[in-house]
């Protein structure tokens, strides 16, 4: 069986070792990505929950419990509404960056033990974090929103890893440069319950601009009339612009160039802004001038 070296997960607080997963099967290319995204998502969610609730050590010695688990490691147990979540720690971290086994169980108040799916775990943890404080459905809406963000993060993470597999399945990984390192945060912040959530982003936008996809694009520049612009600088203002930007601004604005400040924007952000109803009059009056995509690729 061939293997691919995926983005690193820490085995201890002091070091990171390569995480090795089987290459995706030809008939199911997303399988390995799905498994790692699920593991990382549950790890981030559980560690965030432990930090939020002030539980520094969830381990609970229980010989009977150990015998019922599939994974090696130290048993842990979390008391949740209407039961307990139990499993194993493959690595216990003093800083809270624990790593978990793949098997989890829910034990109800009658002592029955069942293996939950990912959604069961999410639901139980969210319910444990709060209870309704009003008579309306605000609490349920908040739970729904949190579940949606967690699942969005999981889906995005799996897609990033799947893309990683496709791009590096045959070519060996080279030593990363600065940009590669910046674009390789496939799993996100270890203490965020939905580290890769990008709610509201369409699929094309997601694929074109995600750093994890190796996105490379030019900024979009707007000329903003100085009567609409407020600036504050620490030290002297930075007036440096790429030559192509300066040339485009002079050609478009002519003798009015000094009346405008040049504002670089992310292309998605600019595209959204320019469709807003209160912005269109500014474009018509040329108080705001779209200079387009300019400058170097970055």
Look at 147 and 12; give whichever has higher pLDDT.
Answer: 147
pTM for this entry = 0.76
Summary mean pLDDT of the chain = 83
pLDDT above 90 as % of the chain: 48
Residue 94 forms beta bridges with which residues? none
Strand spans (E) along 92-244: 99-107, 113-114, 219-225
Beta bridge partners of 277: none
Span 123-145, average pLDDT = 80
Determine the Cα angle at 145 with ends 203 and 121, to 5°: 100
The string of DSSP codes covering 9-64 is EESSSS-EEEEEEEPPBTTBTTHHHHHHHHHHHHHHHHHHHHHHHT-S--B---HH
- In which band, very low, low, confident or very high, does the pLDDT at 11 lie, cut at 50, 70 and 90? very low
Rounded to 10 deg, the angle between the 31-53 and 138-168 helix axes is 140
What does the angle CA 166 – CA 168 – CA 171 come to, to the nearest 5 degrees?
Answer: 130
Q: At what angle do helices 118-129 and 138-168 cross, to 10 degrees?
A: 140
Q: How confident is the model at residue 12 (pLDDT cuts 50, 70, 90)?
A: very low
Q: CA triplet 209, 211, 216: central angle to 5 degrees?
A: 60
pLDDT score recorded for residue 199? 83
Q: With the C-alpha atoms ordered 197, 201, 202, 204, is the resulting torsion angle positive or negative? A: negative
Average pLDDT over residues 201-226: 88
Lowest model confidence (mean pLDDT) among 24-38, 180-194, 282-296? 24-38
- Exposure of 32 in the CB half-sphere (CA atoms within 13 A): 23
* 133 Cβ contact partners less than 8 Å away, ≥ 6 residues apart: 139
How does residue 51 score in pLDDT terms, banded at 50, 70 and 90? very high
Q: How many residues does this entry show for the chain?
A: 298
Token readout for 100 is 């978990």
Residues 6+ apart with CB under 8 A from 173: 5
Residue 108: pLDDT band by 50, 70, 90 thresholds?
confident
Characterise 295 by phi-psi region: left (phi > 0), alpha (psi -120 to 50), beta (else). left
């Amino acid at each position: 069986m061939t293997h691919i070296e995926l983005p690193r997960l820490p085995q201890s607080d002091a070091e990171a070792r390569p995480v090795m997963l089987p290459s995706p099967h030809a008939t199911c290319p997303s399988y390995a990505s799905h498994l790692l995204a699920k593991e990382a998502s549950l790890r981030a969610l559980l560690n965030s929950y432990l930090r939020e609730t002030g539980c520094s050590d969830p381990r609970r010695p229980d010989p009977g419990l150990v015998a019922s688990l599939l994974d090696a490691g130290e048993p842990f147990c979390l008391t949740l509404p209407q039961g307990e979540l139990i499993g194993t720690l493959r690595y216990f971290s003093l800083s809270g960056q624990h790593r978990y086994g793949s098997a989890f169980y829910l034990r109800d108040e009658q002592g029955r033990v069942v293996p939950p799916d990912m959604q069961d775990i999410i639901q139980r943890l969210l319910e444990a974090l709060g209870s309704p404080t009003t008579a309306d459905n605000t609490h349920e809406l908040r739970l729904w929103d949190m579940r949606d963000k967690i699942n969005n993060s999981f889906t995005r993470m799996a897609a990033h890893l799947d893309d990683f597999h496709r791009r590096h399945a045959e070519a060996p990984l080279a030593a990363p440069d600065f940009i590669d390192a910046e674009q390789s945060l496939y799993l996100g912040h270890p203490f965020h319950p939905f580290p890769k959530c990008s709610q509201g982003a369409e699929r094309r936008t997601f694929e074109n601009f995600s750093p994890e996809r190796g996105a490379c694009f030019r900024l979009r520049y707007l000329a903003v009339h100085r009567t609409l612009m407020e600036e504050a600088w620490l030290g002297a203002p930075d007036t440096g612009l790429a030559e192509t930007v300066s040339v485009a601004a002079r050609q478009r604005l002519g003798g009015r160039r000094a009346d405008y400040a040049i504002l670089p924007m992310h292309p998605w952000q600019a595209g959204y802004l320019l469709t807003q109803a209160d912005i269109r009059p500014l474009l018509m009056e040329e108080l705001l001038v779209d200079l387009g995509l300019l400058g170097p690729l970055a």
